[in-house]
């Protein structure tokens, strides 16, 4: 039986790594990876707390919802990245400065 503190510490570290990836990276795909890391840290917290709730199973149910949401976010995000790349020939967010063409 692993205590809940272990899960919290691991997910805090993963969250911070994802935050670093979002701010520091110059590549839109790596920024998306950082977002995925943060979502995974949140799912780990859901699951860790959900173990103590057998009546509702809320933790695991909403962890599954979060996985589906992350998959949808990645699909739309990568489509946007490809559309941007077709227009600008770069996926560095620093170089994408116009709202319209």
Partner 1 sequence: MEVALFYAFASLAILSALLVVSLKNTARALFLFFIVLFAMAGLFLFALADFVAITQILVYVGGVLILMIFAFMLSNKELLADLQNKSSKFLSLPNWQSLLLAIGFLAVLAYGIYEWQEHYPQWITENIRSGAIIKAADNNIQELGLHFMTKYLLPFEVISIFLLVALIGAAHLSRKEDIS
Binders of partner 1 among residues 15 to 34 (CB under 8 A) are 15-21, 23-27, 29-30, 32-34
* Minimum CB distance to partner 1, residue 35 (Å): 11
**Which residue reads 């790596």 in tokens?**
30
Tokens of 100: 């319209």
Task: Choose between 78 and 98: whose C-beta lies nearer to partner 1.
Answer: 78
Residue 11: left (phi > 0), alpha (psi -120 to 50), or beta? alpha
The nearest distance, CB 98 to partner 1, in angstroms, is 17
Q: What is the CA radius of gyration of the chain?
A: 17
Q: Is residue 96 near partner 1 by the rule CB under 8 A?
A: no
Binding to partner 1 by CB under 8 A, coded x per residue (else -) over 74-93, reads: xxx-xxxxxx-x---xxxx-
Q: In this structure, are residues 32 and 19 in contact, taking their beta carbons and an 8 Å threshold?
A: no
E-assigned strand segments in the chain: none
> If you search the block for the tokens 């520091």, which residue do you land on?
24
Binding mask 28-67 for partner 1 (x = CB under 8 A): -xx-xxx-xx--x--xx--xxxxxxxxxxx-xxx-xxx-x
């Amino acid at each position: 039986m692993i205590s809940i503190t272990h899960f919290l510490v691991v997910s805090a570290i993963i969250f911070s790594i994802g935050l670093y990836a979002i701010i520091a990276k110059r590549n839109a795909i790596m920024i998306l990876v950082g977002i995925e890391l943060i979502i995974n840290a949140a799912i780990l917290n859901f699951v860790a707390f959900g173990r103590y709730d057998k009546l509702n199973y809320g933790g695991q149910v909403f962890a599954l919802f979060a996985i589906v949401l992350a998959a949808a976010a990645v699909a739309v995000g990568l489509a946007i990245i490809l559309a941007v790349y077709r227009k600008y020939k770069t996926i560095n967010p620093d170089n994408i400065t116009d709202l319209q063409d």
